[in-house]
């Protein structure tokens, strides 16, 4: 599933409470690096986990990184929201936007997270986050911590 640039703000897509949560969570796990680098999976990356149009040796300002993150989160949130067809709590929107930013819209929309959520199993969708803690076939401690944090946020507010 190709994601196109969003013309809407993150808050317009997922709501202001969820947007504030994502803007706090994603940089915490991604970090911000103002030069291009290879991430743990070998993907050319820059700023706060951005990969689109990455160019080796380029340097970015903090303002450019913030603007890139805003655009990227909005684009990923829009893609995530397009494949979830049931109402979600803010915690689900925060967790699912963060994981979608990390794994991509296509992977999220084809995941058990999306399938379970759409089937009405909100808790099961949140628990399915834990399956996405590997680089290749190897479990990654950082991803395990990130998925546990996303799961906890996702489950918060569910009844």
pLDDT by residue (tens digit) across 2-19? 455 567 999 999 999 999
Model pTM score: 0.93
In DSSP terms, which residues pair with 44 in a beta bridge?
A: 38
**pLDDT tens per residue across span 113-129:** 999 999 999 999 999 99
> So which residues are the catalytic ones?
30, 39
Query: 39, 30 in Cβ contact below 8 A?
Result: no
Decide which of 1.10.530.40, 3.40.50.10310, 3.40.50.300, 1.10.3720.10 is the CATH code for 11-29+69-155.
Answer: 1.10.530.40
Phi, psi of 139 (to 5 degrees): -60, 140
- Both structure tokens of 29: 């796990």
């Amino acid at each position: 599933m190709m994601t196109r640039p969003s013309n809407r703000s993150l808050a317009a897509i997922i709501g202001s409470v969820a947007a504030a949560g994502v803007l706090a969570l994603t940089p915490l796990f991604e970090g911000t690096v103002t030069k291009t680098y290879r991430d743990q999976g070998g993907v050319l990356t820059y700023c706060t986990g951005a990969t689109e149009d990455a160019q080796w040796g380029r340097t970015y300002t903090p303002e450019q990184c913030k603007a890139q993150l805003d655009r990227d989160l909005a684009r990923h949130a829009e893609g995530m929201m397009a494949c979830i067809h049931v109402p979600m709590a803010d915690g689900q929107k925060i967790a699912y936007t963060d994981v979608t930013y990390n794994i991509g819209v296509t992977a999220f929309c084809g995941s058990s997270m999306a399938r379970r959520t759409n089937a009405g199993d909100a808790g099961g969708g949140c628990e399915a986050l834990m399956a996405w803690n590997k680089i290749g076939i190897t479990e990654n401690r950082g991803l395990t911590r990130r998925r546990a944090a996303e799961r906890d946020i996702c489950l918060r507010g569910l009844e």
